[in-house]
Structure formats: structure tokens, C-alpha cells
Chains A and B, each alone.
Chain A
Amino acid sequence: MRDNDHRVTETVERSLDSTLESVDRAEEMAVGAAQRAGFDDDDLMKIGMAVREGMVNAVVHGNRYNDKKKVRFRVAHGAKQLAVTIADEGEGFDFEHLPDPLSPENLMATSGRGIFLIRSFMDEFRMRRLSPGGTEVTLVKHLVSK
């Protein structure tokens, strides 16, 4: 039974250019997979937005639009969950000490809400540094009956 819970029924994997068009494309692929997995409209919006924020981080802050660097994108879903992995080739950032966008001193900041939104919209969020360089984030949404 446990094996069935984590059985992957669809996987899409792409190497994407460091452009805003790739952000749109990744969002479309993730939402398409989530639709086929059976997520409702509310979850589709949350997944789409979380993937968008993760891709923007990879393209803009990680790879800095560098046309020689790629973003590795993977979306997979099984009967119980959808998992998205986004990996850039950037220099990485200090994700242990991200400013809290809800604190009074940051509330009126014009940026810095991306990872907060991902955490708000997904059930699991993991980040890790890659060797020799880059950051990989994994976003997971559980499929639950409502």
C-alpha cells in the first residue's frame, strides 16, 4: 500500500533557458500535470504560483538571465502528491537567513516574498546547495480529498 502512495504515474523533465518565457512554460507544465493528477482549481492556482516564484528565483536571482546557464525542471505526480524540482546553476544564496517579509521593517519591501509564498502554498518545501554550484528547490503538494 505504501508503495502505491508514492508511485509516480507521470514525470516531465526539461532543461530550460534562463528566460522569463521559461517561467511561463514551467508554470504551464506544472499546472497541466497537477490538473491530470486531479488537483482542484484552488490548488492549481497555488501550485502555479509557487512554481512561478521558484522559477523566477532560479532564472533571475540564480542564473541571472545568463544564456549559458540552464534551469533543470522536473514535475512528477503519483496518486497522493505532486512534486516539482527546480535547480539553477547560480552562485547560491544564504537561505538559512532569509528576511521575514511579515516583520514590520520588511512589510513595505518591494521584493523578498517569493519563498514565503512558496511555503504558504505548498505542503513541503526543501532547498539544498548543489555542487559545484547552484541551488535546488523541491516543492510538494499533497493530493487530498476535499
Chain B
Amino acid sequence: MSVKLNVRQVGDVSVMDVAGRITLGEGSSAMRDSIRDLVSKNQKKILLNLGEVSYIDSSGIGELVSGFTTVTNSGGQLKLLGLNKRVKDLLQITKLYTVFDVHEDEAEAIRSFA
């Protein structure tokens, strides 16, 4: 399996559940398209739930950065939820961990958008 995406609405926050591998090719382009689709629909609050992401490569990291920039430039906010240790380590060694607003609890993450 490459990547599986599902978007659900919690109040005015769009929660994108991402599962599988975010790697060069289908995985990273699917996530990019979904984020851009939300932005085009004027969604300003996007929470990327990476709890079921087993693997992410440098291309996937690039797509997280790209998504963050796209959403921020449109006046919105993109936050991350449920990073496993590997993804967290990856963001830390690339010094991106502090760039993103990272949450462990969904309800708390949703509230943080207010």
C-alpha cells in the first residue's frame, strides 16, 4: 500500500487522516493534491493526522513543507497530529519539528485552531 487519505470535518477544521507511506510518487502527490483541494475550497484550518503513517522519505517531508507553505500563504493554518517516533525523529533532525505546530491529542489540536 502506498498511501490512503480520508478527509473529515470536525467543526470548521478539516482533519486529513493519512495512512501508509508518504514517499516519492503516488504517496506524496496524493497528499499534495488533497491539501491543494482543501485550500481551493477555502478551508483555512487543516489538521494532518499522521498517526497511521508508517514511513516518510525526503520527498514526503518536502510535501509536508509544501503543504504548510500553501496553506499559510492562503491565510490558513496547517497543523500536525499523532506523529510516531520515526516521523518525529525525522522532523527533528531536519529542524522542521519546531516549524510545525504538532499535537498528540485530536481534541486539543482542534481547540488550538480557535
Give CA–CA (A60, B24) in the complex, Å: 10
| Any B CB within 8 A of the CB of A52 | yes
Which of B25, B58, B93 has its CB near the most chain A CB atoms (within 10 A)?
B58
The answer to whether A52 touches B57 (Cβ under 8 A) is: yes
Number of interface residues of B (CB under 8 A): 21
Q: Which of A20, A45, A52, A109 contacts B65 (CB 8 A)?
A: A109
| Any B CB within 8 A of the CB of A23 | yes
| Any A CB within 8 A of the CB of B69 | yes
The answer to whether B99 touches A113 (Cβ under 8 A) is: no
Number of interface residues of A (CB under 8 A): 20
Q: Mark A87-117, 1 if CB is under 8 A from B, else 0.
A: 0000000000000011000011111011011
Distance of B103 from chain A, by nearest CB (Å): 21
Distance of B16 from chain A, by nearest CB (Å): 18
Give CA–CA (A20, B93) in the complex, Å: 25
**Which A residues touch B62, using CB under 8 A?**
109-111, 113
| Any B CB within 8 A of the CB of A122 | no
Can you give 27 A-B contacts (C-beta < 8 A)? A20-B25, A49-B55, A49-B57, A52-B57, A53-B57, A56-B57, A56-B58, A60-B24, A101-B94, A102-B94, A102-B95, A107-B95, A107-B96, A107-B99, A108-B65, A108-B69, A108-B99, A109-B62, A109-B65, A110-B69, A111-B58, A111-B59, A113-B58, A113-B94, A117-B93, A117-B94, A120-B93
